[in-house]
Structure 1
Amino acid sequence: MKRINTEVLKIDRNNPDKEKIKMAADVIKNGGTVAFPTETVYGLGANALDEKAVEKIFIAKGRPQDNPLIVHIGDVNQIYPLVESVPEKALKLMERFWPGPLTLLFNKSDKIPSKITGGLETVAIRMPNHKIAVELIKEANLPVAAPSANTSGKPSPTNASHVIEDLMGKIDMIIDGGNTGVGVESTVLDISTDMPTILRPGGITKEDLLEIFPEVKIDPALEKSSKDLKPKSPGQKYRHYSPNAQMIVIQGELQEISQSIKELLKEYEEKGLKVGIMATEQTKNIYESKNVIVVGDRDRPETIAANLFKVLREFDKKGVDLILAEGVEESGIGMAIMNRMRKAAGGNVKTIEN
């Protein structure tokens, strides 16, 4: 693709400069692409109602055409022209979790181009909880389609430097608003059928949703990837979040995990491989390796979520051949963390049974 002159704008997330926000909004209104921070990861935004603008997202990312995009709104009232109807259960969820890291699937209206939905009759919509994102969308006065602002398949960006690494020269503008907070993408919840179904775990946990509904289903596609699957949500079909190195995730009790990693470290180093270890605060001192990176604290799993993609990119910079990663308990935000780890490892997970 032809190289674009990408402008980088630094904006204070707590006190966004109105003139700079207007500059970015004008890019979107004129059919351009803008990377901007949200509370989850950085998104690559374009006018969701302009098919040509949306196509620029797919080209810049190298994204498969059947991988649906999430539409972001800055005000709840923006949703009504985009969907056939807003059911009662959606209103409850919007009142409780919006703005925030929850994406809801609705039956789409004719206003939404099929390119956004990968040919599906449903559209994924969320309202981000980030001042820059909300001000940008409000100023543009348009719904904004925005997948993560990275090269498709690579770890999602949690600060502007990651976006610059991947997309400089491919998009019109990058807003540098500092680090994101949650660190993993939003939860995607299908409410277009009777049973609320999690299509992608994220910042709003199953436990959070069970405070609203008596039962919440997990989509079976989360457990396995299929070439024949028609993805209803981003992240379902394709390998995602992947570092350059191969990755193995080890699950089980912490003592068994660390023992297994030590054995694998020895085995692979003897084969001449440069091995990185993704450790936690609890285990950082037990591995005899120069390539240990601490991803967070097991007692505060939200720290692991916040740092996961950044750490995967750090291993890329170290040039390791293999990453051995400690799995986490799959409760709360742990379900989202393990979902991203499985995807990053291409499903290469070793479970240690007692």
Structure 2
Amino acid sequence: MKPFPRILAAADQRRLTAHLQRNGLVAYPTESCYGLGCLPTAVRAVKQLIRLKKRPQHKGMIVIGADFSQLQPLLRPSEKNAALLQQPQTLPTTFLLPASRKITPTLRGSRRNKLAVRIPAHAGAKRLCRMLQTPLVSTSCNQAGKKPCRSEREVRRLFGRRVWVVGGLVGRYKQPSRIIDGETGKRLR
């Protein structure tokens, strides 16, 4: 297996972009496992992802972006948001930040007004967002309560052709990203 970040050919980038715009799902390596994602603005795709994972619908999703500028439209304007997301982290860190009013409960979670966002520490996941010029939903690639996929082979065995798989190696972390409430500083995971 080639190490990630594998460079997608221009034609593959266009096909993957079109796939995502048609409410498609994508699996890709992250810091600790394969992530399963879609466009955060594609409500049908987010619902499809929830069904595929057999995930409780009240839980929110994490959204990753290559940099703060990709995540900014999903959040309420705040200098604190920018500062939190742009400061270097020693561990993969997801922040719960006030969501833009445009963000649906399907993405942020029912009865929640914050969105979980992260600039990934995994070079491949960050590069994928940069290549596609969009943030991506990023939840562990598994079915609820099961062990997350750590290889392209595991993803294909579990989900077959239902997701577009971007191959590569997952990072060295054994645990998912920590989650910090950006307003209170409290660690939630």
TM band (smaller chain): 0.7 to 0.9
Q: 2-side partners of 1:50 and 1:15: how far apart? A: 25
The offset of 1:51, in angstroms, is 0.6
Q: Is residue 2:127 matched to residue 1:138?
A: no
Q: 1:30 to 1:138 in 2, by over 3 A?
A: farther
User: Counterparts of 1:76-155 in structure 2 under 5 Å?
Assistant: 76-88=68-80, 91-92=83-84, 94-97=86-89, 101-119=92-110, 120-155=112-147
Matched, 1:160 2:168: no
Provide the aligned C-alpha RMSD in A: 2.2
- Structure 1 residues 183, 145: CA separation in 2 closer, same or farther (over 3 Å shift)? same
When normalised by structure 2's length, the TM-score is: 0.87
- Is 1:189 the counterpart of 2:180? The answer is yes
> Which amino acid is the alignment partner of residue 70 of structure 2?
Q
Change (3 A) 1:81 1:165: same
Task: Give the secondary-structure state (helix, strand or coil) at the position aligned to 2:23.
Answer: coil
Q: Could you tell me which residue of structure 2 aligns to residue 303 of structure 1?
A: none
Q: What is the aligned partner in structure 1 of residue 187 from structure 2?
A: 198
Segments of structure 2 that go 5 or more residues without pairing to the other structure are: none
Three-state SS of the structure 1 residue aligned to 2:156 is: helix
Point out the structure with max Rg over C-alpha: 1
More displaced 10-residue stretch of structure 1: 84-93 or 175-184? 84-93
Contact preservation (8 Å) 1:47, 1:142: yes
For the residues of structure 2 that align with 1:160 and 1:167, how far apart are their CA atoms? 11
CA contact (8 A) 1:25 1:137 kept: no
What pairs with 1:308-319 in structure 2 (closer than 5 Å)? Answer: none
Closer/same/farther in 2, CA of residues 136 and 14 from structure 1, 3 Å limit: closer
Give the structure 2 partner of residue 38 of structure 1.
30
Using the size of structure 1 for normalisation, the TM-score is 0.49
Identical-residue share of aligned pairs (%): 26
Equivalent residue runs for 1:1-354 within 5 Å: 12-19=3-10, 20-88=12-80, 91-92=83-84, 94-97=86-89, 101-119=92-110, 120-169=112-161, 171-193=162-184, 196-200=185-189
- Give 1:21 shift: 4.0
Structure 2 vs 1, CA of residues 68 and 14 (structure 1 numbering), >3 Å: closer, same or farther?
Answer: closer
